C-alpha cells in the first residue's frame, strides 16, 4: 500500500476537523445528553421544571389538580407594589415552590378576570385550553419570584434575641417570649449597665415631656415607633403605638422614600394630610412624560406599569419621554423615535419644567376652558371632569398679614353667613365683576388691587397669574443653562405634551428626592393641571381606592375602642408643626431676639418626619426618645447620610436607653438593637393592603399564611411576630383596645383581641361585606386554595354568616372590583373630587423656619438648597465638586433584597456609572476601581463607563453595599451565624449623604420646604 | 457570550454565535443549491462543485442549529405540536427536507456516474431548488420579524442577508471548483449578487439610523469595513478581472464566504449586544470568547468533515458506477 502526500494531507485535515468538531460540540453533546437522559428531562415537562400544580385537559377544559401541591392566593412584598400572587406550595415539605400572578388581581393581570369567576375557571383561564393562558397571563416579576428564598433563609431570626455585648457588637443570646415581654415592659437593669425605663414607665399621657415646651406633648411621645411602609399590617402597629400607647411618633418611610413626589401631588390635590397622588392612564394616554421615574424599571406599581407601558408601545399614536440623568429600561430602541430619553443634570428637573410652563403660558397652550372653571359645579356645567383654583384671587403681598391667602368673600362683603364668608373670590369671566367662585367661568389672568372691608387696599392676582409670573422669572435660555437640556428640547417636550388634549400625563417619583424636591414635584404634576387631565380617560387618576378593611366597616369598627387615645404633641422629626407655634420661637420673640434661624429646620405642613427621627432624638432636638421600636424598617441603610451620622451615637445608651427591633432578619438598623423580636415573612403573615395610585378600580389584597409560620411559639401556642408582640405588651400594660372587649362590631358588641386572627379576619369581614356582601365559599374551593387550613380559625373567630364569605375573599387573594367598572364615558368612574390647587394656600402662607420668609404657594424653580436657602452649588461649587450622585433602581433590587441567593446569582455587585466623556477626561475605563468622595464620606467601587448617563452625573444602582442581611457574622449564644462578605459587595449611594451644614441642630440634607431627604444630586468628585 | 445589561442583569445572548454559523452554512448551501438547479435545469451543466457545496453545507448546518437552542433536546418541541403562524416552525420542516433532498441528490448523482440525468433526478433537482428558496425565505423571515431587535426588523436586513447568502453560495462553489481544477459555475452570480449587496447595504445604511449606530458603536471594530472591502468589493473585483486564474477564482470565492460570515457576525452579535435601551457597546471582549471560538471551530470542523464525506460519497459511488458500466 502506498501512502500518497495527498492522502496524508486529507487524513490530517479530517483528523483536525474531527478534533475541532468534537471540541466545538462537546458542550452541545453534554447538554443534549442531559436533555434526553439527565435530570433536565426527569420531570417530563421542559428543562427541569417541577411537576405542575394542576393539568388542564386541552380538549375538554377539565382541571386535574396535583394532590401533592396546593396554590394559595396572597400578597407579594418583594417590593412595595404589593401585587396579588399565587403561591405554589409542596404539601409534604411545606416549602414554597414558586410564586406567580393572581389572575383576580389587577396588579398582576391585564385585564384581571371578573371577581365572580369560579376558582376552577380561573385556573383554566391560565392554561393552554383554548390558548386562554396567553391572553390571561398573570405574572410575578423576577423579584417576586426570588423573594421566596426569604422563608427558608438561614439568616432568619426565629426566637427573641437580646444583645450580650455592646450595641452593634453582633453578640446575642436567645431569650424566652415571657422574658422579652417582661423586660421590655417593666425595664430594670437589663444589661448590667444601669436602670432602663420600660415601656410601662415611658407611657405617661399626662406629664409633659418638656415642661418648658409643653407643645411637645406628653412623655409617652418618647416612645418612637418606626415601621415599614403600608404593607398591609401597618394598622396593627398603629393601633398599638398611636391609639393604645398614645405616642404621636409613628409614621411610615415616606419621608426618605418618595415624600417630595407625594407632597408635590398633595399640594396640587389639596390634601396635604393624606397625600394622594396621580398616575397616568397608561391604557389610553397618547403622550406621557416621566421625570425622575422610570415606569417598568422602578416606580409603583412597578410590574403593572411595565406591563402597561409594554402595551402602550404596541399602540399606534403613543409617544412618551423619560427625563432622567440615567437612561433606564423604560426606553426601548425597538419603539423607535416615539420614546425618547432626555438626559438632565441631577436636581434640575424643576428648571426644565418651569421652562416648559413658561412656553405653555407664552403660547397659550393650556386648557383655558378647564382652568376657567372655579368650582366643581362650574366644571359640571362645562362638561369638565375636574376643576381648579386657577382663577381664584390671592392676596399678593408677602408682608400683608393675609399674604398668600385667598381673597375671601368675607373680606370684601359685610354681613354674610359663615360659609359665604369663606368663599374664595374671582372675577366673573363675562362681567369682570368680583364674585365668589361658583357655577360660572372666571377670568384666568388678573393682577390688580382690591379694597377690603377695613378700607385698606391690597394687591391681588389670580393663581394662574402667579404661576405665570414664577414661570416668567427666568428666560428659556436661563432654564436651559440651569438644567443642561437644550431650549429646543424643552420646547418640543412642551409642545408634545400640549398637543393631545387631555390624553397627556406627567408623572414623577424618587428622582425628585433632592434638595429642591418639593417645588420640582409640584411643578411636574402641575403640567397635568395645565391640560386639565384629572379624571379624564387617557389623563390621570388618583386610583380606585380600597374596600373597607381596618376601618369603621360594615361589620366591625377597627378604628375605635373604649379608651382610645388621641395623640398630641410635636413630631420628633419636627414635621407637620410650624416653628412659629413653638415655645422656643415665642421666647425668642419675647426676649426681643430674632427667632430665625431655628436650631434645625421645622416643616409646618408636611407629615411627621420619620427620616429625621433617629438623628433628632439622638441629639435631643426637639427632644430625646426613651425607647425606639423599629419594625421591618431600615433607616440606617435607606436614609441618605444616616449611617454616618448615627452609627456611633446610637451605641450610646444614654442617648437612647432602649431599642427594640422587630424583624425576620438583622439589617443595618436592627444590628444596633437591644432586643430583636422575630417576625413573619410575608407568605406567613396576615394583613390587608391596597394598590398605590396606578389601579383605577377598588383593590383590597389579602395577606394570609399560605405556608406555616416558622418562628417560635409563645407559651400559649401563637407564633412569635409583630402582632403578638404588640398584643402581649399591650395586655401586660392593660392598654385599651387589646385583650377582652377590644373590637366593637356594628351592633356595638365588643369582641376580643388576643391574637392576629382576631384582628385581621374581622378586617376581612369588613372587606367581604363592604358595598354588598360577596357570596359564600363552598368546601371545594377552600380545598383548592388551601384556605381549608385556616377554616377552623375562620369559623371560631367570625360569625356564622361571615366566615364563608371571608373564605370566598381569601380564596381569591383579596377583593377586586371588576375592570369593566373603570370608566364612565370619557372619565374615570372613581374620580377625584377636590379641586386642583394652582396656588396652595397652606404652602403660600407657611414660612421657612430658618429664614422666616414665606414660601411660594405655586410651583417655582429653586436650585437644590440647604435649609437656609443657600444653594448647594454655592457651598460645593462644581469646579471642586464636578459630579452629582444619583441612585438608580433596577427591576430586581431593593434595599431589602440583600442576601437573596437567586438575585445574587444574577448580579452580586453594582457599579459606579459615569459618562464616557467624563471617564475619558479622568482616564477611567469600565472595571477600574474608583473612589467617589462626597462632603461627608467616600466610597469605592468599579466604574461602568456608559453613554446612557448624563455628563456630570454618577449613577449608583440601589440595593447593594450592605453591611448586614447576611454580610456580617453574628454570635447567638454558642451558635455562630456566619457572615458572607460577598453579600456586602457593591456600594450604597446613601453612604454619600450628609447633614445640612447650615443647621446648628440635627438635620440631614433635605428639601427646604417639606423636609424630604436628599438622596439625589449629592455633590461629589472622583479619584482613581 | 454575555450582553451587559446596565440597569438589571447581564444575560446570555439569545442568538448565540452558533446562529451565525448556522445561517452561514445553510444560506451558502441553499444558494449553491439554487445555482445547481439553475445550472442543471437551464444550462444543462453538471455543476458538481455546486452540488458538493449544497450537500456538504446543508449537512453541516443542522448541528450548529441544535447547539444554538441552549438545550438542544428541545428541538423535539418543533415536531410535537404545530404552529403554522410561526416562520421558525415552517423552517423546522424545511431544514430536514432540504438536507435530506440534497444528500439524496448527491447520492443519485454519484450513483449514475457519467450517465445522463434521469427524470427522477431532474425532479429532485427542482425540489432541491424549491426547498432552497424556502430556506432562504424562512431564515430571512424569522429574523426580520423580531421587533425587539430594530436592526433586524427592517427591509434592508433580510435583503442583504439573502444577497450575502447568494454571494457565499457562488463563492464557495468557485472555491471548491478551483480546488478541483475546474472553472465551472458561480462567477457571474458572485459578481451580480456582490454588486447588488453593495447597493442594498449602502441604501440600508443611509436610511436606517439603527444600522449606522450599530456600525459606529457596537459592531466589533472594522467588521463592517472588512465585510464591505474584503468580503464584497475584493471578491467582485477579482471575479471580474481574474476569470482565467484558478487561484484567484478560489480566493475570490473564499472571500465572498468570509463576507457573508462577517455580515452575520456583526449584525447577529452586534444587534444583541446593542442593549435595547443603551447607546454604547460593551461586548468587545466577549466577541471572541471561548463560546464564540467553539462555535466557529466546531462548525468549521464539521463543515470540513461534511465536505470530505460528500466528496468521497460522490466520488466512490461514481467509481463504482463506472466499474459497473465497464463490467
pLDDT digits (tens, 9 = 90+) for A797-820: 999 999 999 999 999 999 999 999
Question: Residue A341's beta-bridge partner residues?
Answer: A322
B2-326 falls under which CATH superfamily? Formate dehydrogenase/DMSO reductase domain (1.20.1630.10)
Which residues does chain B have within 8 Å of residue A947's beta carbon, measured at their own beta carbons?
Answer: 217, 278-280
Q: How many domains does chain A have?
A: 3
Cα–Cα–Cα angle for B238, B240, B245, rounded to 5 degrees: 60
How many Å apart are CA A515 and CA A1013, to the nearest integer?
Answer: 8
Nearest CA in chain A to B149: A334
Q: Given an 8 Å threshold on Cβ–Cβ distance, is A32 in contact with B305?
A: no
In a domain, A496, yes or no: yes
Q: State the Cα torsion A263-A268-A270-A276 to the nearest 10°.
A: -50
Residue that is written with C-alpha cell 442617648 in the block:
A655
Q: Which residue has the higher pLDDT, B3 or A225?
A: A225
Q: Which of residues 62-81 of B touch A (CB under 8 A)?
A: 63, 66-67, 70-74, 77
Taking CA–CA distances from A888, the nearest residue in chain B reads: B7
Which of A32, A297, A334 shows the shortest C-beta gap to B7? A297
**Cβ A31–B6 below 8 Å, yes or no?**
no
Select from B22, B78, B277 the residue whose CB has the most chain A CBs within 10 Å, as the one to mutate to test that interface. B277
Secondary structure of residue A12 in the 3-state scheme: helix
Phi, psi of B314 (to 5 degrees): -65, -45
Q: Confirm or reject contact between A906 and chain B (CB < 8 A).
A: yes
Considering only the beta carbons, identify the residue of B66, B277, B296 that sits closest to A332: B277
- B206 by Cβ neighbours in 10 Å (0-12 / 13-18 / 19+) ranks as exposed
Strand-pairing partners, residue A886, are A955
| A929 in B contact zone (CB under 8 Å) | no
- What is the bridge-based pairing of β-strands A750-753 and A739-744? antiparallel
Q: For the segment A226-252, what is each residue's pLDDT rounded down to a tens digit?
A: 998 888 999 999 999 999 999 999 986
Does residue A619 have a pLDDT over 70? yes
B9 to chain A, minimum CA–CA distance in Å? 6
Of B77, B147, B302, the CB nearest to A21: B302
CB pairs under 8 A between A and B: 135
Residue A506: what are its φ and ψ, rounded to 5°? -120, 140
Residue A596 pLDDT exceeds 60:
yes
Domain annotation covers residue A784: no
Chain B residues close to A18, C-beta within 8 Å? 301, 305
The upper half-sphere exposure of residue A905, i.e. CA atoms within 13 Å in the direction of its Cβ, equals 6
Q: How far is A256 from chain B (nearest CA, A)?
A: 22
Q: Do B298 and A41 touch (CB under 8 A)?
A: no
In this model, does residue A650 exceed pLDDT 50? yes
Yes or no: say if A320 and A310 are a contact pair by the CB < 8 Å rule.
Answer: no
Q: Is A942 on the interface with B (CB under 8 A)?
A: no
Domain holding A22, by residue range, is 5-41
Residues of chain B with pLDDT under 50: 1-3, 6, 8, 279-281, 284-285
Are B279 and A28 a contacting pair at CB < 8 A?
Answer: no
C-alpha cell at A768: 367581604
Of A478, A534, A547, the residue nearest A503 (C-alpha): A534
Using CA atoms, how far apart are residues A869 and A997, in angstroms rounded to an integer? 12
Q: Which stretch of A48-52, A107-111, A665-669, A686-690 has the lowest confidence by average pLDDT?
A: A48-52
Q: Is B301 on the interface with A (CB under 8 A)?
A: yes
* Domain final residue pick, A507, A526, A541: A541
Residues 6+ apart with CB under 8 A from A577: A215, A570, A571, A602, A604
Alpha-carbon dihedral sign for residues A665, A669, A675, A677: negative
Cβ of B274 within 8 Å of Cβ of A333? The answer is: yes
Cis peptide before A154 (omega within 30 of 0): no
Q: How far is A986 from chain B (nearest CA, A)?
A: 14
| A995 occurs within a structural domain | yes
Cis peptide bond upstream of A1020, omega within 30: no
Q: Is B8 on the interface with A (CB under 8 A)?
A: yes
Output the average pLDDT for chain A. Answer: 94
Residue A120 lies in a domain: no
Q: Give the integer Cα–Cα distance in Å for B90 and A331.
A: 33
Domain boundaries, chain B: 2-326
- Taking a contact as any Cβ pair under 8 Å apart, which residues of chain A between 282 and 341 contact chain B? 297, 326-334, 336
For residue A122, which of A96, A102, A146, A107 has the smallest C-alpha distance?
A102
Among residues A550, A547, A555, A545, which one has the least CA distance to residue A765? A555
**CB-side neighbour CA atoms (13 Å) of A924:** 26
Whether A832 is in a domain gets the answer no
A23 vs B contacts (CB less than 8 Å): 294, 297-298, 301
In the DSSP assignment, the letter for residue A670 is G
- DSSP for residue B219: S
Determine whether the interchain pair B301/A20 forms a contact, defined as Cβ–Cβ distance below 8 Å: yes
Residues of chain A neighbouring B274 (CB-CB closer than 8 A): 333
Domain boundary among A490, A508, A541: A541
Of A338 and A972, the structure prediction assigns the larger pLDDT to A972
DSSP string, A591-604: TT---PSPSS--BT
What are the φ and ψ backbone dihedral angles of A748, each rounded to 5 degrees?
90, 0
Residues of A in contact with B56 (CB under 8 A): none
Q: Please indicate whether, in this complex, the C-beta atoms of B279 and A948 are within 8 angstroms of each other.
A: yes
Binary contact (B6, A913; C-beta < 8 A): yes
Which residues 946-1005 in chain A show a CB within 8 A of chain B? 946-948, 957
Report the run of H or E that residue A970 belongs to, with start and end: strand A970-972
Contact A702, A75 (CB under 8 A): yes
Per-residue pLDDT at B3: 47
B211: nearest CA partner in chain A: A333
C-alpha cell at B149: 431587535
List all residues of chain A from 593 to 632 with a beta carbon under 8 Å from chain B. Answer: none
Judge whether B210 is closer than 8 Å to chain A, CB to CB: yes
**Residue whose C-alpha cell reads 466546531 in the numeric block:** B298
In a domain, A487, yes or no: yes
Residue A479 lies in a domain: yes
Any CB–CB contact under 8 A between B294 and chain A?
Answer: yes
**In angstroms, what separates the C-alpha of A338 from chain B's closest C-alpha?**
13
- Which of A327, A334, A892 is closest, CB to CB, to B8? A892
CA distance B114 to chain A (A): 24
Of the ranges A323-337, A383-397, B106-120, which is most confident?
A383-397
Query: Closest-CA residue in chain A for B12?
Result: A906
Rounded to a whole number, what is the largest CA-CA distance in chain A?
129
pLDDT at A635: 94
Q: Which residues of A touch B296 (CB under 8 A)?
A: 24
How far does B308 lie from chain A, in Å, by closest CA? 8
- ipTM (interface pTM): 0.90
Residue A486 to residue B316: CA distance in whole angstroms:
74
Task: Kindly determine whether residue B9 and residue A907, on different chains, have CB atoms separated by under 8 Å.
Answer: yes
Residues of chain A in contact with residue B71, where contact means CB-CB under 8 angstroms, are: 31, 34-35, 40, 47
Residue A985 sits in a domain of what CATH number? 2.40.40.20
Q: What are the φ/ψ torsions at residue A528 (nearest 5 degrees)?
A: -60, -40
Strand A827-828 and strand A823-824: pairing? antiparallel
Whether residue A478 has a cis bond before it, omega within 30° of 0 = no
Phi, psi for residue A638 in degrees, rounded to 5: -90, -15
Q: What is the 3-state secondary structure (H, E, C) of A88-111?
A: EEECCCCCEEEEEECCCCCCCECC
Residue from B227, B228, B260, B302 nearest B65 by CA:
B302
Q: How far apart are CA A343 and CA A817, in angstroms?
A: 39
| Dist. CA B146–CA B14, nearest whole Å | 12
The answer to whether B295 faces chain A, any CB pair under 8 Å, is yes
Per CB-CB distance under 8 Å, the chain A contacts of B20 are none
Cross-strand bridge partners of residue A172? A163, A972
Q: What is the DSSP letter of A965?
A: T
Look at residue A130 in the predicted model and tell me its pLDDT.
87
Tell me how close the Cα of B302 comes to any Cα of chain A, in angstroms. Answer: 5
Q: Do A24 and B282 touch (CB under 8 A)?
A: no
Write the DSSP assignment of A436-495 as a string of letters: ES-SS-B-S--EEEEE-TTS-EEEEEEHHHHHHHHHTTS-HHHHHHHHT--HHHHHHHHH
How many angstroms separate the CA of residue A941 from the nearest CA in chain B? 15
**A345: CATH:** 3.40.228.10
Residue A42 has pLDDT above 50, yes or no: no
Q: What is the pLDDT of residues A459-481, one digit of tens each?
A: 999 999 999 999 999 999 999 99
What would the mean pLDDT of A692-719 be, rounded to a whole number?
A: 95
Residue recorded with cell 432654564: A479
- Look at A332 and B280 and tell me if their CB atoms are within 8 Å: no
**C-beta atoms of B150 and A333 within 8 A:** yes
CB A174 within 8 A of CB A972: yes
Residue A870 has pLDDT above 70, yes or no: yes
Distance between CA atoms of residues B297 and B268, nearest Å: 18
Last residue within a domain, chosen from A506, A541, A576: A541
Candidate from B67, B294, B305 with C-beta closest to A17: B305
**H or E element: which one contains B225?**
helix B223-228
| CA separation for the pair A1019, B123 (Å, rounded) | 77
Amino acid at each position: 500500500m502506498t501512502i500518497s502526500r495527498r492522502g496524508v494531507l486529507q487524513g490530517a485535515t479530517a483528523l483536525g476537523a474531527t478534533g475541532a468538531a468534537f471540541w466545538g460540540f462537546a458542550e452541545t453533546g453534554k447538554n443534549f445528553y442531559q436533555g434526553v437522559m439527565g435530570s433536565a428531562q426527569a420531570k417530563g415537562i421542559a428543562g427541569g421544571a417541577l411537576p405542575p400544580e394542576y393539568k388542564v385537559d386541552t380538549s375538554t377544559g377539565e382541571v386535574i389538580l396535583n394532590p401533592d401541591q396546593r396554590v394559595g392566593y396572597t400578597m407579594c412584598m418583594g417590593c412595595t407594589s404589593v401585587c396579588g400572587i399565587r403561591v405554589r406550595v409542596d404539601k409534604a415539605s411545606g416549602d414554597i415552590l414558586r410564586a406567580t400572578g393572581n389572575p383576580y388581581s389587577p396588579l398582576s393581570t391585564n385585564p384581571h378576570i371578573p371577581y365572580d369567576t369560579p376558582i376552577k375557571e380561573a385556573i383554566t383561564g391560565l392554561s393552554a385550553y383554548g390558548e386562554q393562558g396567553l391572553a390571561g397571563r398573570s405574572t410575578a416579576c423576577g423579584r417576586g419570584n426570588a423573594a421566596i428564598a426569604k422563608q427558608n433563609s438561614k439568616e432568619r431570626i426565629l426566637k427573641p434575641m437580646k444583645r450580650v455585648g455592646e450595641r452593634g457588637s453582633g453578640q446575642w443570646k436567645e431569650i424566652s417570649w415571657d422574658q422579652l415581654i417582661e423586660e421590655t415592659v417593666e425595664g430594670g437593669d437589663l444589661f448590667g449597665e444601669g436602670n432602663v425605663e420600660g415601656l410601662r414607665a415611658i407611657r405617661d399621657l399626662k406629664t409633659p415631656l418638656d415642661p418648658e415646651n409643653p407643645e411637645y406633648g406628653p412623655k409617652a411621645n418618647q416612645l418612637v415607633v418606626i415601621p415599614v411602609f403600608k404593607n398591609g399590617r401597618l394598622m396593627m402597629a398603629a393601633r398599638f403605638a398611636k391609639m393604645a400607647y398614645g405616642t404621636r411618633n409613628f409614621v411610615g418611610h415616606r419621608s426618605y422614600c418618595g415624600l417630595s413626589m407625594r407632597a408635590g401631588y398633595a399640594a396640587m390635590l389639596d390634601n396635604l394630610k393624606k397625600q394622594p397622588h396621580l398616575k397616568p392612564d397608561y391604557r389610553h394616554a397618547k403622550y406621557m412624560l416621566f421625570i425622575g421615574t422610570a415606569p417598568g424599571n422602578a416606580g409603583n406599581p412597578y410590574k403593572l406599569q411595565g406591563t402597561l407601558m409594554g402595551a402602550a408601545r404596541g399602540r399606534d399614536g403613543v409617544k412618551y419621554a423619560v427625563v432622567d440623568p440615567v437612561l433606564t429600561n423604560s426606553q426601548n430602541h425597538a419603539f423607535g423615535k416615539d420614546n425618547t430619553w432626555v438626559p438632565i443634570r441631577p436636581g434640575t428637573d424643576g428648571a426644565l419644567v418651569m421652562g416648559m410652563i413658561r412656553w405653555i403660558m407664552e403660547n397659550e397652550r393650556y386648557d383655558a376652558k378647564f382652568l376657567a372653571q372655579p368650582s366643581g359645579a362650574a366644571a359640571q356645567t362645562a362638561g369638565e371632569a375636574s376643576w381648579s383654583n386657577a382663577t381664584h384671587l390671592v392676596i399678593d403681598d408677602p408682608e400683608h398679614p393675609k399674604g398668600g391667602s385667598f381673597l375671601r368673600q368675607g373680606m370684601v362683603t359685610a354681613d354674610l353667613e359663615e360659609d359665604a364668608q369663606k368663599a374664595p373670590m374671582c372675577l366673573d369671566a363675562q362681567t369682570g365683576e368680583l364674585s365668589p367662585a361658583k357655577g360660572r367661568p372666571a377670568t384666568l389672568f388678573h393682577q390688580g388691587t382690591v379694597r377690603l372691608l377695613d378700607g385698606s387696599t391690597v394687591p391681588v392676582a389670580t393663581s394662574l397669574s402667579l404661576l405665570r409670573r414664577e414661570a416668567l422669572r427666568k428666560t428659556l435660555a436661563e432654564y436651559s443653562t440651569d438644567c443642561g437640556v437644550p431650549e429646543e428640547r424643552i420646547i418640543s417636550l412642551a409642545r408634545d405634551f400640549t398637543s393631545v388634549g387631555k390624553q397627556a400625563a406627567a408623572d414623577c417619583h424618587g428622582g425628585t428626592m433632592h434638595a429642591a424636591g418639593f417645588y420640582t414635584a409640584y411643578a411636574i404634576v402641575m403640567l397635568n393641571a395645565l391640560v386639565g387631565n384629572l379624571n379624564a380617560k387617557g389623563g390621570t387618576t388618583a386610583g380606585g381606592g380600597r374596600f373597607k378593611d381596618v376601618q369603621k366597616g360594615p361589620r366591625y369598627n377597627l378604628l375605635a375602642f373604649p379608651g382610645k387615645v388621641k395623640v398630641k404633641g410635636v413630631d420628633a422629626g419636627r414635621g407637620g408643626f410650624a416653628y412659629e407655634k413653638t415655645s422656643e420661637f415665642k421666647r425668642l420673640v419675647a426676649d426681643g431676639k430674632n427667632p430665625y434661624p431655628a436650631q434645625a429646620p421645622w416643616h409646618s405642613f408636611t407629615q411627621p418626619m420619620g427620616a429625621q427621627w433617629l438623628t433628632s432624638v439622638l441629639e435631643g432636638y426637639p427632644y430625646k426618645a426613651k425607647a425606639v421600636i423599629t419594625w421591618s424598617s431600615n433607616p440606617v441603610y435607606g436614609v441618605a447620610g444616616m449611617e454616618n451620622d448615627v452609627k456611633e451615637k446610637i451605641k450610646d445608651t444614654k442617648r437612647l436607653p432602649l431599642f427594640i427591633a422587630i424583624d425576620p432578619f438583622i439589617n443595618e438598623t436592627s444590628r444596633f438593637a437591644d432586643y430583636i423580636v422575630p417576625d413573619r415573612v410575608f407568605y406567613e403573615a396576615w394583613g390587608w393592603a391596597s394598590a398605590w395610585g396606578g389601579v383605577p378600580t377598588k383593590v383590597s389584597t389579602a395577606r394570609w399564611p399560605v405556608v406555616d409560620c416558622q418562628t417560635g411559639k409563645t407559651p400559649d401556642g401563637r407564633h412569635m411576630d409583630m402582632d403578638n408582640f404588640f398584643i402581649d405588651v399591650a395586655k401586660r400594660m392593660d392598654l385599651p383596645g387589646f385583650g377582652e372587649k377590644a373590637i366593637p362590631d356594628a351592633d356595638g358588641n365588643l369582641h376580643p383581641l388576643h391574637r392576629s386572627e382576631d384582628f385581621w379576619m374581622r378586617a376581612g369581614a369588613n372587606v367581604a361585606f363592604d358595598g354588598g356582601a360577596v357570596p359564600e365559599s363552598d368546601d371545594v374551593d377552600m380545598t383548592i386554595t388551601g384556605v381549608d387550613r385556616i377554616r377552623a380559625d375562620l369559623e371560631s373567630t367570625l360569625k356564622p354568616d361571615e366566615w364563608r364569605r371571608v373564605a370566598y375573599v381569601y380564596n381569591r387573594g383579596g377583593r377586586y372590583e371588576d375592570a369593566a367598572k373603570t370608566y364612565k364615558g370619557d372619565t374615570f368612574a372613581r374620580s377625584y373630587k377636590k379641586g386642583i390647587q394652582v396656588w396652595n394656600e397652606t404652602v403660600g402662607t407657611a414660612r421657612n423656619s430658618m429664614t422666616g420668609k414665606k414660601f411660594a404657594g405655586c410651583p417655582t424653580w429653586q436650585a437644590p438648597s440647604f435649609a437656609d436657602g443657600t444653594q448647594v452649588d454655592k457651598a460645593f461649587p462644581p469646579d471642586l465638586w464636578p459630579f452629582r450622585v444619583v441612585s438608580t433602581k433596577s427591576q430586581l433590587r431593593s434595599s431589602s433584597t440583600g442576601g437573596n441567593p437567586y438575585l445574587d446569582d444574577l448580579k452580586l455587585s453594582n457599579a459606579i456609572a459615569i459618562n464616557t466623556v467624563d471617564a475619558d477626561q479622568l482616564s477611567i475605563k469600565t472595571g477600574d476601581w474608583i473612589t467617589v468622595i462626597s462632603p461627608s464620606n467616600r466610597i469605592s467601587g468599579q466604574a461602568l463607563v456608559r453613554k446612557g448617563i448624563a455628563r456630570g452625573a454618577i449613577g449608583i444602582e440601589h440595593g447593594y453595599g450592605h453591611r448586614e442581611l447576611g454580610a456580617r457574622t453574628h454570635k447567638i449564644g454558642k451558635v455562630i451565624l456566619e457572615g458572607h462578605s460577598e453579600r456586602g459587595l457593591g456600594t450604597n449611594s446613601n453612604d454619600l449623604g450628609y447633614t445640612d451644614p447650615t443647621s446648628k441642630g440635627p438635620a440631614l440634607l433635605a428639601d427646604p420646604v417639606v423636609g424630604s431627604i436628599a438622596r439625589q444630586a449629592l455633590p461629589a468628585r472622583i479619584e482613581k | 457570550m454575555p450582553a451587559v445589561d446596565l440597569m438589571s442583569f447581564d444575560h446570555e445572548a439569545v442568538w448565540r454565535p452558533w446562529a451565525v454559523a448556522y445561517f452561514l452554512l445553510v444560506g451558502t448551501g441553499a444558494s449553491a443549491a439554487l445555482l445547481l438547479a439553475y445550472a442543471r435545469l437551464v444550462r444543462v451543466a453538471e455543476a458538481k462543485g455546486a452540488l458538493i457545496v449544497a450537500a456538504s453545507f446543508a449537512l453541516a448546518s443542522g448541528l450548529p442549529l441544535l447547539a444554538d437552542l441552549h438545550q438542544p433536546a428541545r428541538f423535539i418541541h418543533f415536531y410535537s405540536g404545530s404552529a403554522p403562524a410561526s416562520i421558525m416552525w415552517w423552517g423546522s420542516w424545511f431544514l430536514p427536507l432540504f438536507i435530506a433532498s440534497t444528500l439524496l441528490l448527491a447520492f443519485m448523482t454519484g450513483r449514475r456516474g457519467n450517465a445522463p440525468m434521469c427524470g427522477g433526478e431532474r425532479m429532485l433537482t427542482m425540489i432541491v431548488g424549491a426547498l432552497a428558496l424556502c430556506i432562504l425565505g424562512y431564515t430571512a423571515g424569522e429574523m426580520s420579524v423580531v421587533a425587539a431587535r430594530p436592526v433586524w426588523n427592517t427591509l434592508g436586513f433580510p435583503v442583504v442577508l439573502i444577497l450575502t447568502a447568494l454571494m457565499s453560495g457562488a463563492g464557495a462553489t468557485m472555491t471548491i471548483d478551483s480546488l478541483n481544477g475546474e472553472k465551472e459555475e458561480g462567477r457571474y452570480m458572485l459578481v451580480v449578487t456582490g454588486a447588488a449587496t453593495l447597493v442594498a447595504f449602502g441604501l440600508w445604511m443611509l436610511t436606517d439610523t439603527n444600522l449606522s449606530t450599530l456600525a459606529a458603536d457596537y459592531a466589533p471594530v472594522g467588521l463592517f469595513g472588512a465585510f464591505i472591502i474584503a468580503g464584497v468589493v475584493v471578491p467582485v473585483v477579482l471575479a471580474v478581472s481574474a476569470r482565467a486564474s484558478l487561484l484567484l477564482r478560489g480566493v475570490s470565492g473564499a472571500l465572498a464566504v468570509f463576507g457573508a460570515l462577517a455580515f452575520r457576525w456583526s449584525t447577529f452579535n452586534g444587534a444583541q449586544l446593542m442593549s435595547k435601551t443603551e447607546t454604547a457597546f460593551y461586548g468587545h471582549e466577549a466577541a471572541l470568547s471561548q463560546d464564540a471560538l467553539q462555535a466557529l471551530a466546531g462548525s468549521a470542523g464539521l463543515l470540513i468533515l461534511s465536505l470530505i464525506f460528500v466528496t468521497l460519497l460522490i466520488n466512490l459511488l461514481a467509481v463504482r458506477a463506472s466499474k459497473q458500466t465497464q463490467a
